[in-house]
């Protein structure tokens, strides 16, 4: 495809004047005033459009699309114990497969090209990503409070199988991460063993960290005064590249640990506010040079996968909490939604819109009333645009969403399967 005479956001977060951007295979091969003569396939008219790098959702539980709106206006522990856990106990691999596909449809509708996903039934998530053309770093979390070893848990064998079968599948679109759900859902023996397994396979780590005050203070009581960050550091968990979700209650010393270990923070502002968990201290993290990306968490606590909403809230929330309107520039907020997310996933071939980078792209309509007037296109993108302005999403040079259609997905079948799953589960829970 040749994007003809289209303005675009470069890797430095700057808007560039209209140019030709050519894609061949899965790669951006030319950017310039006029593409060389030749067969570039479809020519996409760039008038009234903006080309941006695809967005990265680096903390998600995508199959939980099935629980959208199911547990509202509850305290966190009631939300988990009364609604989430009973519903999830009824899920089958097929449910997770179609729930994941529904989430892919929603994310690509909003310009998202990749997710970092934590859930279960790894084979279902991997097949859904391969079938749809989406990119994902996916992981399975051991949940264990007894004295069993990691190797005795079913998730150990599943991780081994997922690594052999799916790691770097789809020309690298799929990547297996290892995971610890949280400090309070594992033991020191499990955490240390998962860290060792992660290092032996050369993988990345994904976990929840200090999401709630209860979790954070409870860890200090359980672990001899150690915070979750100190606890995981001492067990070697941060010795591999790690994405830590939430980090709402981290202390200053914890941020020093994350900076020292190169841990990425996946900020989830909407979910954290909706569940009344708190606000991640992003300005303090930025001051320490910590890589920060954005996540939606699940739609059960969000309730959508529109990363444009996360980006705007991320850009303005901390101005209010700190009383400083200069904090987090639009360029910094956009980087959190794009390049920082790619970095957290280890996708060094996804470097934005430049020659030689993977063609992970989204096209926005900038002709609507929310885009006018335009004093600064980047400011409009962060503060005024919405996921509904996306007209095309491309992953590795393949169009996954375009003008209300999903070329790789059978949406009628997905909708039908999701409704059938929900009806079955609700009927079982009503007994």
DSSP 402-417: ETTB-TT--HHHHHHH
What are the structural domains of the chain?
Answer: 2-53+355-402 (2.30.40.10), 55-344 (3.20.20.140)
133: three-class secondary structure by DSSP: coil
**C-alpha span between 78 and 87 (Å, rounded):** 13
Nearest in space to 118 (alpha carbons), one of 185, 44, 18:
185
Q: Is 344 left (phi over 0), alpha (psi -120 to 50) or beta?
A: alpha
**C-alpha span between 146 and 186 (Å, rounded):** 8
Nearest in space to 185 (alpha carbons), one of 121, 231, 224:
231
Q: Write b or e for each residue in 66-91: b if 16 or more Cβ atoms lie within 10 A of its Cβ, otherwise e.
A: bbbebbeeeebeebbeebbeebbeeb
How does DSSP assign 249-266, residue by residue?
S--HHHHHHHHHHTPEEE
Query: Is residue 224 packed enough to be buried (19+ CB in 10 Å), middle (13-18) or exposed (0-12)?
Result: exposed
Cis peptide before 94 (omega within 30 of 0): no
Instruction: Report whether pLDDT(190) > 90.
Output: yes
Does this model's pTM top 0.95? My answer is: yes
178: three-class secondary structure by DSSP: strand
Q: Tell me: the pLDDT tens digits for 215-233?
A: 999 999 999 999 999 999 9
In percent, the amount of the chain with pLDDT more than 70 equals 100
Q: Tell me: the pLDDT tens digits for 57-109?
A: 999 999 999 999 999 998 877 888 999 999 999 999 999 999 999 999 999 99
**C-alpha span between 164 and 168 (Å, rounded):** 9
Q: What is the per-residue pLDDT for 165?
A: 98
Contact of 352 with 53, CB cutoff 8 Å: yes
Q: Tell me: the pLDDT tens digits for 316-365?
A: 999 999 999 999 999 999 999 999 999 999 999 999 999 999 999 999 99
């Amino acid at each position: 495809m040749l994007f003809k005479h289209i303005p675009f956001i470069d890797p430095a977060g700057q808007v560039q004047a209209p140019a030709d951007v050519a894609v061949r295979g899965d790669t951006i091969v030319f950017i310039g005033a006029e593409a060389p003569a030749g067969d570039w396939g479809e020519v996409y008219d760039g008038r009234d459009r903006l080309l941006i790098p695809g967005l990265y959702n680096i903390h998600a539980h995508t199959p939980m699309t099935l629980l959208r709106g199911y547990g509202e206006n509850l305290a966190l522990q009631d939300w988990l114990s009364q609604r989430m856990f009973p519903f999830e106990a009824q899920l089958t691999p097929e449910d997770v497969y179609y729930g994941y596909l529904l989430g892919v449809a929603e994310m690509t509708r909003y310009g998202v090209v990749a997710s970092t996903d934590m859930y279960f039934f790894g084979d279902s998530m991997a097949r859904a990503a391969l079938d749809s053309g989406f990119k994902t770093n996916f992981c399975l979390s051991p949940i264990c409070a007894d004295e069993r070893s990691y190797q005795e848990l079913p998730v150990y064998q599943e991780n081994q199988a997922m690594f052999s079968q799916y790691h770097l599948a789809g020309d690298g679109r799929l990547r297996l991460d290892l995971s610890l759900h949280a400090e309070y859902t594992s033991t020191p023996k499990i955490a240390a063993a998962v860290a060792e397994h992660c290092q032996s396979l050369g993988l990345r780590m994904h976990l929840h960290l200090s999401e709630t005050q209860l979790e954070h203070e409870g860890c200090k009581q359980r672990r001899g005064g150690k915070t979750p960050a100190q606890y995981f550091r001492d067990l070697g968990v941060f010795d591999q590249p790690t994405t830590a979700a939430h980090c709402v209650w981290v202390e200053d010393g914890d941020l020093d640990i994350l900076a020292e270990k190169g841990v990425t923070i996946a900020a989830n502002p909407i979910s954290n506010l909706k569940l009344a968990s708190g606000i991640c201290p992003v300005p303090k993290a930025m001051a320490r040079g910590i890589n920060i990306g954005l996540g939606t968490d699940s739609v059960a606590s969000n309730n959508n996968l529109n990363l444009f909403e996360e980006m705007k809230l991320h850009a303005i929330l901390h101005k209010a909490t700190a009383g400083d309107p200069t904090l987090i520039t639009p360029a910094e907020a956009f980087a959190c939604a794009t390049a920082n997310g790619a970095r957290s996933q280890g996708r060094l071939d996804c470097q934005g819109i430049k020659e030689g980078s993977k063609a992970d792209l989204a096209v926005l309509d900038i002709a609507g009333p929310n885009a006018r007037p335009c004093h600064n296109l980047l400011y409009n993108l962060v503060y005024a645009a919405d996921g509904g302005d996306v007209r095309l999403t491309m992953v590795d040079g393949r169009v996954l969403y375009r003008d209300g259609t999903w070329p790789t997905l059978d949406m009628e079948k997905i909708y039908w399967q999701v409704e059938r799953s929900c009806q079955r589960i609700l009927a079982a829970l009503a007994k």
